[in-house]
Structure 1
Amino acid sequence: MTIYGSLANPVNKLIIPVVALGSLTLPTPSQLDLDTGSAGMIIDAQDVFPPDMVGTNGFVFPPGQNTLSYHGIVVTNVQATKGYDGSAETDYGNIGFATVKFGGRGELTTNVMPVLFVYKSLDGNGQPLQFPYQGVFGINSSSNPALAAGATSSTSLNICSLQSITANGCDFVSVLRYLNYSAGVNAGFSLGNATLDPNCAITSAMTGCTLQPALTVGLSVADEQTYTSVPLSCSKGPTASDLGVTACNANIRGFTISDSDSGESFKTPILFDSGTPIMKFSVPPDGDISAVVNSRQYGNGDAGRLPVHL
């Protein structure tokens, strides 16, 4: 599958185009942050819907309606927020459902899946945020909540569907879980070398950018045997509406991190996060150190290989 790599903006990104939702072919592809550090898809609603349907204050629902339909896209009246660990960003939107066609050449189309259609993004001070990209395409093995105002995350897995969605929101999982895979092919991906191009500007036209065949979707047993496997801590959704999906903590435990200045080392879980442009070590109050490692830190502007079996 073809994606872009950009080094031209304030944050360095791998970018995956979304070319259609439902039966709607977008006038220009929406360029989404390909994020191995989160699960689920958010997209700028104003790039999808006409201004009489949505604005900076949200969607407009006719009296008595709790859903909107537009070219095979269903938007519910459940407003929710989605945040990201290590970031003060909060995205506000409505939970909706659609098929999603994605890739630089529109190579793949999902089954109907949940999408957070975002109408505003705010920083930690409540100020509007603007990004060069139009959303986030989360593909890691975990689940991430889309929470309604005042709701708190539940310990039980409730994957978003029209049947399971509640007033409190629901849980998003990887976009890649909504594809059909051939017999003998597991739901997962491998991220190969992708050059981060300083001349590639993140715009709807991706001016100066070259598509790169860096993302492989679907892994055979033979593919997986070329890598070292690490078991993850997983939990399974309780109902048929949860697709029988197992959501797994994406932090890989047991890594040894060495500090070349002090000569000290410690063991810690790490998260390979293509959506975070810096390397961070986060120490919670309880002293249990966790790390968020951006793959671009390794190897002259190239993103390293990252195989994941969902």
Structure 2
Amino acid sequence: MEKSYLKTRHKIFVLLVVSLFAASCKKDPQIKPGPNNTDPANYATLGLYEQMNNTGARRIFIACSKLGDIATKNYGLVFDTGSTGMTIDATDIIPGSMITSNGFQFSGDSTVVSGITITSQKAVISYGGIDGAISEYGNLAYAKVTIGDGHGNITTPRIPFFLYYKVINLSTGAQLAAHSADVFGVGPGVSATSRSIGSPLSYFSLNSDITSGFRLAKFNSTNFLSSVTYTSDLLYIGLTTKDLNSSGFIMHPLGYNPFTGYSPNIPSSITYNGKTISGTILFDTGTPLTHIIEDPSATDNSAPLPTNSTVSITTGQGFTYQYTTTSDFNLTQVENPSYSKDNRTVFSIDFFLTNEYLLDYANHRIGLKNN
């Protein structure tokens, strides 16, 4: 039976922009297999793509250049620390004759198309909240996935993901364009869609001196342009001893949820306008524009902080961060969770412009570092 799940975050740009990346002729793969020595390299280092649309929303994309045996059109999937699992549209990947508005057409429990196994397990992923919502309709699938492109790429083992056949705007009932909601969710735990689905980056087989996880260098604010812009050396797959122990990250142990597994939400104190509240923070590359502070005592349902407001946080493990709102960066909205239906404060992609982020899948920890 088809089930509907509300995804674990509600601050999502309703239409995720699809971007196509032409494969580069440059052959400079940044793949660095870790040698078995006292100072190993990360398993792989990849660049990501940055873009800003005409509303000022910033996005970070990872190229997907092959799915199963199919060379894709280098689809740009939103690189998302706020969700878990990959979702991708089936259009132009499997034969169009198999895709209908009611689902994939095949018989039996599963079928294999060009190295992609599509199961009969159906689900609906719902994104959105107070500002609108969308739903993706699809099935659990399995395949090897090549991430990256001509600048450098790496192929995962056969992994589970969500292959969808349509995405609907719930406010209007309109079907959105193909590949408009492709997401590469790298958060901890498992997807609410299926406990079979985890982060694509968690499935690599690594040497004993490399720990399962990834770290992000700070994003390049000057590369958020109207056209997608490649930025090298942003994503480091596989964590070294130096990453974990001597690079300045403050580690935060993750809580466990019996349904979705380990949670990326970090207990913190949050101060704004001279007022300090307790809460949890999600550091979310998938939120493209505005930080959201959830304050149960807020008198307005939702209100923006004025320009030049100062916000600071201190996590339970002692990581501190402060920013000032401007007209272009660190836009911040204060909401009452009784209105938003979400208790988590969400820090948007702007946080990653001045800070580094690390996720240790093996030991269930998030590392944060000022830079």
- The TM-score range, normalised by the shorter chain, is 0.7 to 0.9
Matched, 1:83 2:129: no
1:215 aligned to which of 235, 247, 272:
235
Q: Tell me the residue number matched to 1:188.
A: 213
Q: Tell me the residue number matched to 1:270.
A: 281
Amino acid at match of 1:221: T
Q: Is the 8 A contact 2:128 2:134 kept in 1?
A: no
Separation of aligned partners in 1, 2:54 and 2:244: 34
Structure 1 residue 235 displacement after superposition: 5.9
Q: Tell me the residue number matched to 2:76.
A: 31
1:227 aligned to which of 232, 249, 252:
249
Q: Tell me the residue number matched to 2:328.
A: none
TM-score (norm 2): 0.65
Matches within 5 A, 1:71-150: 71-84=114-127, 86=129, 88-104=133-149, 105-125=151-171, 126-130=173-177, 133=180, 135-146=182-193
Amino acid at match of 1:189: F
Structure 1: 5+ residue stretches without partners: 148-158, 161-171, 238-245
1:66 aligned to which of 109, 116, 131:
109
TM-score (norm 1): 0.77
Q: Tell me the residue number matched to 2:291.
A: 279
Separation of aligned partners in 1, 2:342 and 2:136: 28
Amino acid at match of 2:272: D
Structure 1 residue 185 displacement after superposition: 1.1
Q: Tell me the residue number matched to 2:203.
A: 178
Amino acid at match of 1:234: Y
The structure that is strand-richer by fraction is 2
More divergent stretch after superposition (33-42 vs 70-79): 70-79
Structure 1 residue 117 displacement after superposition: 0.9
RMSD of Structure 2 on Structure 1 (CA): 2.6
Structure 2: 5+ residue stretches without partners: 1-45, 295-335, 362-371
Separation of aligned partners in 2, 1:288 and 1:295: 19
More divergent stretch after superposition (70-79 vs 138-147): 138-147
Change (3 A) 1:106 1:100: farther
Q: Tell me the residue number matched to 1:57.
A: 102
Q: Tell me the residue number matched to 2:264.
A: 250
Q: Tell me the residue number matched to 1:241.
A: none
Structure 1 residue 9 displacement after superposition: 5.4
Structure 1 residue 145 displacement after superposition: 1.6
**Number of residues paired by the alignment?**
265
Separation of aligned partners in 1, 2:178 and 2:278: 35
Which is higher, the Rg of structure 1 or of structure 2? 2
